[in-house]
Structure 1
Amino acid sequence: MDEETTHFYRHADGSYSTVTFSGTEGHATPPEGAVETTEAEYNEGVAAIEAANAAKVAEEEAAAQERARLDYEALIAAGIPPETAARMSGYNPPHPTVGD
């Protein structure tokens, strides 16, 4: 069986990719604008991108939750019952006997 060889690349835009060759199937020419890196650098770079993406998702979810809370409070201030305001706004207020 042919041995596989994997090459790791960092692209000019900051993304990463790999190319795996089996036996004499091809040769390791980096994609245009890419620089070959080590597997450790590749793993570190991909982990950093994934962490940044997760932080962005968390930030967007927190902002959406804050908008829903503000909508909920506006509906309550307008005299809408809390249960209806929660359904309309998509906000799930904490239960009054749980936590602070």
Structure 2
Amino acid sequence: MTTYYVIYEDGSLGRIDTDGEGQPPLAKPGRFVDAATYGARSEELAAQHAQHVADLQAADEARTKADYDALIEAGIPEATARRLSGYQGE
């Protein structure tokens, strides 16, 4: 069994395990790389994903807090404001 690592032109990764002879054809444009380059790109993509998730969570927290604050300012009881806004912070 031979493993080939690929970085595609769109930035995605591929790992191809084959028993065949020579490099297999690629399903889309890309280039074969060594395991270390593949691993580094994989770690880079994981870090980008984690940052994106953290950004989305922070934006959601800010939105729900703003909604909660507006409901409180409008005189809505705290428990109801939390339920309506989804805010679970302090």
Q: TM-score, normalised by structure 1?
A: 0.82
Q: Higher helix fraction: Structure 1 or Structure 2?
A: 2
Partner SS, residue 36 of structure 1: strand
Q: Which amino acid aligns with 2:16?
A: V
Aligned residues between the structures: 89
Counterpart AA for 2:64: A
Instruction: Trace 1:9-24 onto structure 2 (pairs within 5 A).
Output: 9-22=6-19
Deviates more, 1:62-71 or 1:30-39: 30-39
Deviation at 1:30, TM superposition (A): 4.6
Mapping for residues 1-100 of structure 1, pairs under 5 Å: 4-22=1-19, 25-31=20-26, 32-94=28-90
Question: 1:10–1:37: 8 Å Cα contact kept in structure 2?
Answer: yes
Q: CA deviation at 1:8?
A: 0.5
Give CA-to-partner distance per residue, 1:48-91, whole Å, 9 cap, x none.
01110111011011101100000000000000011110111000
Instruction: Supply the distance in 2 between the matched residues of 1:93 and 1:14 (Cα, whole angstroms).
Output: 37
Q: Which runs of 4+ in 1 moved over 6 A?
A: none
Amino acid at match of 2:35: E
Unaligned runs of 5+ in 1: 95-100
Report the TM-score, using the length of structure 2 for normalisation: 0.91
Q: C-alpha root-mean-square deviation of aligned residues, in Å?
A: 1.3
Indicate conservation of the 8 Å contact 1:68/1:91, yes or no: yes
